[in-house]
Amino acid sequence: MAAKFHILDLPPELLLNILSYLPATDVSSVCQTCTKLNEVADQEIVWQNLIKSEFNIKNHIGCYDGSYKDVYTKVLHKYKDMLGIWQPEMGSYGGLLHIKLRDGRIIGEECFAPVDPDVYHNLRKKVLFSIQLSEDTTHEEILCYRGFDRPHPSSIQWTEAGTVKFHCSDSDRHKHPEGKQKEFESWLVEETGQRPSEFFVHGQELLLMKFLVTTQLGCTYDLTRLSFPQPEANVIVQPGLFKGNYGGHGIELIMLTYLPDMMAEGKKITGDPNVPANKISLYIDLRRPMFLNRDQQQTIDLLQQIDIPDSPPDSYPHNLPPQPFRVPDDCFERFSGTPHKCIGRFHAKGQIAGHDFSNPSRTPGHWVVFDENTFGFLWLELKSFSLYSRVQEHFD
């Protein structure tokens, strides 16, 4: 008669290897069965492998501030559902927040559009908060990084609506030690890359308004999860996040998505007091491609006078011929690096409005695609041209 086999008869090294492949819920259950398995499950390699597997970490994990078990059970397991891209509710301005795992801590990193007018520059990034083990490793602590002092306590709560509420518990730490004026000047240089004396009065008014709103709301605000559109087949440019010029409001972020019936739209992720975040900025009619020679684009007035025929409806997206592009002479161009050839041009409309989104309307324009990562929008009635460049950062 064969001898009975019991898993506890296996060598500890083999038990350890088995446990290192289990998910966290099973490891927790194993810990409660007997003293021997509890001791095996308490080994660091089990929790290190669990972290690597659950968070798709390919490389070696370095040393954490605390044991791997403490980091997982007290920080990562509790807050792992927060990982990803979120949009802060920051008045009309919106925003982009990337919550990610770094070195055993969960980091909330604000992502800002580059300094106007270069849309090709990378996003500016700044840590907003961290969730990590306390110094005595007994619990997690949430720290706010805003302001001019060292990190200070804050809190994060899930709401019934599935959003997250961030609250700084010590907003006095946000203040500049030399007063509000110095705080504004410091923010201004960070926001624009220029000294305050170099701005026009109107530009300062717009920036001052943004400073007052964002600093006031920066102590407590809700975060809403942001989803990126999936790749599309048979489109002229893939959907996704783009940086674009918006005149005196600077560079803003929009999400390009495709709709049924050969339409596309650009939704603001960051906005301004005229057209706020989460409003549609661009309405694109893919059923109406056009072809223009260089002479037809000399001025906005000429573009509005000529009868621009639509290209054949079956030309989109594979049969669109390349065509020349120029910014009309009577058109304001904020950025000088605009390409001189495009791969597609379409009738479109852009949304404009007064302050506080008063009297919104759609004004005619052209959506001009230069390549997979770059497009422009010609605002005909405003006589202005905006350039948009794809956000290249990967949000892992």
Instruction: For residue 262, give every residue at least 6 positions away whose Cβ sits within 8 Å of its Cβ, in sequence order, or none.
Output: 285, 286, 287, 316
Mean pLDDT for 357-373 is 97
Instruction: For residue 5, give every residue at least 6 positions away whose Cβ sits within 8 Å of its Cβ, in sequence order, or none.
Output: none
Mean pLDDT for 354-367 is 96
260 with 202: CB under 8 angstroms? Answer: no
* Amino acid residing at 24: A
Mean pLDDT for 240-252 is 94
74-131 confidence digits (pLDDT tens): 999 999 999 999 999 999 999 999 999 988 899 999 999 999 888 999 999 999 999 9
Q: Name the β-bridge partners of 266.
A: 256, 282
d(CA 225, CA 207): 27
**Nearest-5° angle of CA 249, CA 167, CA 73?**
120
d(CA 220, CA 146): 12
Whole-prediction pTM? 0.89
Mean pLDDT for 225-245 is 95
Which domains, from first to last, does the chain contain?
A: 7-69 (1.20.1280.50), 83-224 (no CATH), 246-390 (no CATH)
5-21 confidence digits (pLDDT tens): 677 767 777 877 777 77
185-200 confidence digits (pLDDT tens): 888 888 887 776 655 5
Lookup result for tokens 């037809």:
296
pLDDT-wise least confident of 28-32, 53-57, 93-97, 117-121 = 28-32
**Nearest-5° angle of CA 67, CA 40, CA 100?**
35
266 with 259: CB under 8 angstroms? Answer: no
